[in-house]
Amino acid sequence: MSQRAISLSYKCAYLWGRMMVEEKEQEEDPLKKWDSLVEQRIQEAMARGDFDNLSGKGKPLDLSRNPFADPTLEPAWRLLQNAGFSLEWIEEDKEIRRDLEAARARLRHAWSLCLEWEGEGARLAWERAISRFREDVDRLNARIDVHNLKVPSVHFQRLRVCVEEEIARVRGQEHI
């Protein structure tokens, strides 16, 4: 095959690939069609004034009710909430966040000391801090796994903590 034929075949393959990409980009997502239809209907209803005389217009929404709770238990939940109690998984989530922030603070402090000191002692102290942080994160991730089994919806689940990302984040902060 000549050099010109090879060059033409590459160009044809490139043009065919571009054509396929453009065709794919032009295909419309069915959800986009649905979203635009919903948006169009809402705009039409607003233009007709269908939303002008709704009850509660101009008043804040009452978000005190828990949509996931059994309505027969609502008075009990309200009593507990007014007394400062909340659901177990919410309290557990707060504890996990608090403990994670404490572990991050210890790691940041160790890194700032490592930047101030020099030599073998600083390196050893940083390695000990990383080792302790890894142990803390292992315990936290185990708690996160259990917590994620208790929450009522995946939207309330927590992501596991990645040790390497946390260490990189701390090391990227030169001024703590």
DSSP-assigned letters across all residues of the chain: --HHHHHHHHHHHHHHHHHHHHHHHHSPPHHHHHHHHHHHHHHHHHHHTTTTT-TTTTS-----S-TTS-GGGHHHHHHHHHTT---HHHHHHHHHHHHHHHHHHHHHHHHHHHHHS-SHHHHHHHHHHHHHHHHHHHHHHHHHHHHHHHSSSGGG--PPP-HHHHHHHHHH-S--
Residues 29-82 have pLDDT tens digits of 666 677 778 888 888 888 888 888 888 778 887 777 777 778 888 888 788 878
Domain boundaries, the chain: 88-172
Which pLDDT belongs to residue 119?
81
φ, ψ at 86 (rounded to 5°): -140, 180
Average pLDDT on 117-124 reads 84
122 pLDDT band, cuts 50/70/90, is confident
Which pLDDT belongs to residue 123?
85
Q: Is the predicted pLDDT of residue 175 greater than 50, yes or no?
A: no
Residues 143-171 have pLDDT tens digits of 999 999 999 889 999 999 999 999 999 98
Name residue, tokens 């090391």.
171
* Contact assessment for residue 124 and residue 143, using Cβ atoms and an 8 Å cutoff: no
What pTM was computed for the model?
0.56
